[in-house]
Amino acid sequence: MPEAQSPTRKRIVDAATRLFYAEGIGRVSVDAVAEEAGLTKRTLYYHFKSKDDLIAAYLDGRDQPNLKRMAGWFEAEQGGVDSKVEAIFANLARATRHPKWKGCGFLRTAAELASMPGHPAVKVGARHKSNFETWLAAELSGHHIEGPQALAREIVLLMDGCFSIMLIHRNPDYVEAAGRAAATLVRARMSGSQA
Amino acid sequence: MPEAQSPTRKRIVDAATRLFYAEGIGRVSVDAVAEEAGLTKRTLYYHFKSKDDLIAAYLDGRDQPNLKRMAGWFEAEQGGVDSKVEAIFANLARATRHPKWKGCGFLRTAAELASMPGHPAVKVGARHKSNFETWLAAELSGHHIEGPQALAREIVLLMDGCFSIMLIHRNPDYVEAAGRAAATLVRARMSGSQA
DNA sequence: TTGTGTATATTCACTAGTCGGTATACTTAG
DNA sequence: CTAAGTATACCGACTAGTGAATATACACAA
């Protein structure tokens, strides 16, 4: 029985994270992950019962870092809520320009597992996306916004639209456009506003 | 040299379409496509030079049918442009309830090929998405809408957000929410309107 | 009408390599 | 001595792609 917080386990997850994100879960073999981690496949299978298990662990490890990154962008912006939302997209547009950027790992994994809706990794992804939506709704509350939950969902849709379409067009203009649309939706729900 | 419109070639593309959409391009072998088409792998390789070539042909065959489906939904709605746009999402929400629905084939393929941005199938997908955006912008023009191109792009982002997030949550409420957001964005750009 | 050449289209059998997963044995720390 | 952890070596199944032979159909000459 392997320890949940074993350093070896962490090395495996780190290696899996690098490879799975860069190449996609279907294009990376367990052998490749083991080699990247500097150990043998048998050791990997001592710490994880299957590749599916490892995929879920990979996504689980990305949940909090991703949320903190988004929250950091949101909080760093000094303007109103609409500006804070738009700032997330502005930072995202910058991130997509990085050569190693390959979209959202959660969405890409869900796309690869579209024929297995109950896959544990998809459940981890669903939890992450819900976490983000809930966090955003909380941030939007108490700013004279009607329906912060509904607004958070609309913004999530725009953001995931960015992630997906960027893999097709590779054109950050789409992310900027999404940011403007998100700001429009925020202002449309601000009481006393007419645009 | 195989004919471009050979009936055998069509059988292969049809078989590939069924399997690739249902399982994903990475989870379907060339052998499986050949068997589904009722011929041998060697024959398949007579008509297509590689699996990548076949994947591109699969997506190319979905371009026009997909566009016509969207256009049909748009035109069938009797109300204003905002209602017509929302109708696309309403129909989409219904489509996502079908058990065989597995998201957008173009986006899923792009997600699987995220590490190969120049892949011919990704280019086919980019052309399809551009075709849709261009068609929508044309439909939005001439209805007292400011910036129909920018609006079409925002709607595309919401739609692709639906496709992606539905693979994670499998909850059609997201599609309905996207439809309402799209209608809001349309009305925000209608001259003389205050919402 | 018959025979022959040629291009298209299809099959069987195969390669060389990769896949996820495991049986077995060894090392090392308590 | 025991048990956790790691290594070597292997499994059967599957992978994309190919070599060589062959079936089919039609053009054209005798």
Per-window interface: B 103-132 vs A, CB < 8 A: 103, 106-108, 110-112, 114-115, 117, 122, 125-126, 129-130
Model confidence pLDDT, tens digit, residues B93-104: 999 999 999 999
| Residue of chain B minimizing CA distance to A123 | B168
Indicate yes or no: CB of A115 within 8 angstroms of CB of B102.
yes
Which tokens in the block code for residue B189?
Answer: 């750009």
- Compute the distance between CA of residue B25 and CA of residue B19 in angstroms, rounded to an integer: 8
pLDDT of residue B42: 92
Query: Helix, strand, or coil here: A145?
Result: strand
Rg (chain A; Cα; Å): 19
Place of tokens 């690869």: A112
Average per-residue pLDDT for chain A: 94
Cβ of A12 under 8 Å from any chain B Cβ? Answer: no
Indicate yes or no: CB of B184 within 8 angstroms of CB of A188.
yes
Q: How far is the CA of B43 from the C1' of D25 (A)?
A: 18
Q: Is the CB of A4 under 7 A from strand D?
A: no
Provide the CB-side half-sphere exposure for B163 (13 A, CA).
25
Model confidence pLDDT, tens digit, residues A130-148: 999 999 999 999 899 999 9
Length of chain A, in residues: 195
Model confidence pLDDT, tens digit, residues A7-19: 889 999 999 999 9
Q: Does residue B55 surpass a pLDDT of 90?
A: yes
pLDDT of residue A195: 41
Average per-residue pLDDT for chain B: 94
pTM of the model: 0.94
Indicate yes or no: CB of B107 within 8 angstroms of CB of A167.
yes
DSSP assignment of A42-96, as one string?
A: HHHHHH-SSHHHHHHHHHHHHHHHHHHHHHHHHHH--S-HHHHHHHHHHHHHHHH
pLDDT of residue B5: 75
pLDDT of residue B1: 63
